[in-house]
């Protein structure tokens, strides 16, 4: 055993610190939300001003305040907008806390945005009875969801079900690596490189002796490392999967999805975020070398990645069924 399992409160506080100081999750969430907002705007004349987001791993709900704010800024007394989020989570208490945070946040923008949250436990049979209102824009959010081995349906079944929903957009966020490695040693080596980059990237966010940094390293990154190393053990219900872009791109295409172009606004927003969050290392764009975080457009503009030095960490893409 590498370390004691953090309590739910310890993990939440450490995740909050990581979210606040690093562009890692903010890059994923803001880019995904911008893509969802653009899909909504494309259908604004026929979607009854209604957006339904189906989030397969809502977690603490940190992704959604920025989307709530963006939609609230568009809404007026004569142009009310409806936002409905169906979020899947691991336990009822966490879902209730997430709902309370999001509902409270949405109330701060008045009543021009009609907000509704429905929390469902992973594995719930109610997933097959998701209500779709007439003409609403449906967005499916797969932010890091397919990275875990404990999906309540197999990946192929999940993607088949998502396709059956006929969503306007599917947002996929994947940590980059190689999941073709099956032995413990090869998986350990791959994980070592990935987490070395993650730990190094904290140099740009917090001082080495910071107590916040120590909590992030132990309670968030440490837990992920432990899960990766324990992959072969019985009873392990979570394990990160890091795959190369070509692997999951082929999987999406084989399940009837085609990639959407990442808009220039998404790219500009991502670069602006990094400028605001980069402290000590020079920011890099495209394929430049050197230190620090970098933003790269890939796959002919259908993919945008966040990297640290010469390694990709997170990749965002958007898809639609064909």
pLDDT at 76: 87
pLDDT at 284: 58
The CA-CA-CA angle for residues 7, 9, 14, to 5°, reads 95
Whole-angstrom Cα Rg for the chain? 19
Task: Give tens-digit pLDDT for 174-192.
Answer: 988 755 556 777 777 877 8
- 292 with 143: CB under 8 angstroms? no
pLDDT at 1: 44
Partnered with residue 307 across adjacent β-strands are 294, 312
d(CA 223, CA 25): 17
Residue ranges of the chain with per-residue pLDDT less than 50:
1-2, 149-152, 234-237, 287, 289-290
Phi, psi of 113, deg, nearest 5? -105, 120
pLDDT at 237: 47
Q: Where are the alpha helices (DSSP H) in the chain?
A: 8-21, 23-42, 64-74, 92-107, 155-164, 184-201, 211-215, 222-229, 245-254, 264-277
Whose tokens are 């790219």? That residue is 267
pLDDT at 80: 94
* Token couple for 296: 């790269």
Q: Which domains does the chain have, with CATH numbers?
A: 8-176+241-262+316-321 (3.40.50.150), 184-229 (no CATH)
d(CA 101, CA 164): 31
pLDDT at 112: 93
The CA-CA-CA angle for residues 268, 143, 70, to 5°, reads 50
pLDDT at 120: 93
């Amino acid at each position: 055993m590498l370390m004691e399992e953090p309590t739910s409160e310890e993990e939440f506080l450490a995740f909050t610190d990581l979210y606040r100081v690093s562009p890692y999750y903010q890059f994923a969430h803001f880019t995904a939300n911008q893509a969802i907002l653009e899909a909504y705007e494309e259908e604004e004349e026929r979607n009854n001003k209604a957006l339904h987001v189906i989030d397969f791993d809502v977690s603490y709900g940190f992704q959604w305040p920025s989307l709530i704010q963006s939609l609230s800024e568009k809404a007026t007394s004569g142009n009310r907008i409806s936002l409905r989020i169906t979020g899947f989570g691991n336990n009822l208490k966490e879902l209730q806390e997430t709902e309370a945070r999001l509902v409270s946040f949405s109330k701060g923008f008045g009543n021009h945005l009609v907000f509704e949250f429905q929390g469902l436990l992973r594995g719930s049979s109610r997933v097959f009875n998701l209500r779709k209102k007439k003409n609403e824009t449906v967005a499916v959010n797969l932010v890091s969801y397919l990275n875990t081995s404990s999906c309540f349906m197999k990946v192929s079944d999940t993607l088949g079900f998502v396709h059956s929903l006929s969503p306007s957009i599917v947002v996929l966020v994947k940590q980059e690596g190689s999941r073709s490695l099956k032995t413990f040693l090869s998986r350990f080596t791959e994980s070592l490189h990935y987490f070395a980059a993650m730990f190094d990237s904290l140099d740009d966010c917090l001082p080495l002796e910071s107590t916040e940094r120590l909590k992030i390293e132990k309670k968030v990154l440490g837990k992920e490392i432990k899960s990766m190393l324990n992959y072969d053990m019985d009873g392990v219900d979570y394990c990160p999967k890091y795959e190369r872009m070509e692997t999951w791109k082929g999987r999406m295409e084989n399940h009837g999805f085609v990639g959407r172009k990442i808009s220039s606004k998404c790219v500009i927003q991502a670069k602006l975020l990094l400028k605001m969050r980069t402290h000590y290392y020079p920011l890099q764009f495209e394929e430049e070398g050197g230190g620090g975080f970098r933003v790269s457009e890939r796959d002919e503009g259908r993919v945008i990645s966040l990297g640290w030095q010469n390694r990709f960490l997170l990749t965002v893409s958007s898809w639609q069924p064909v």
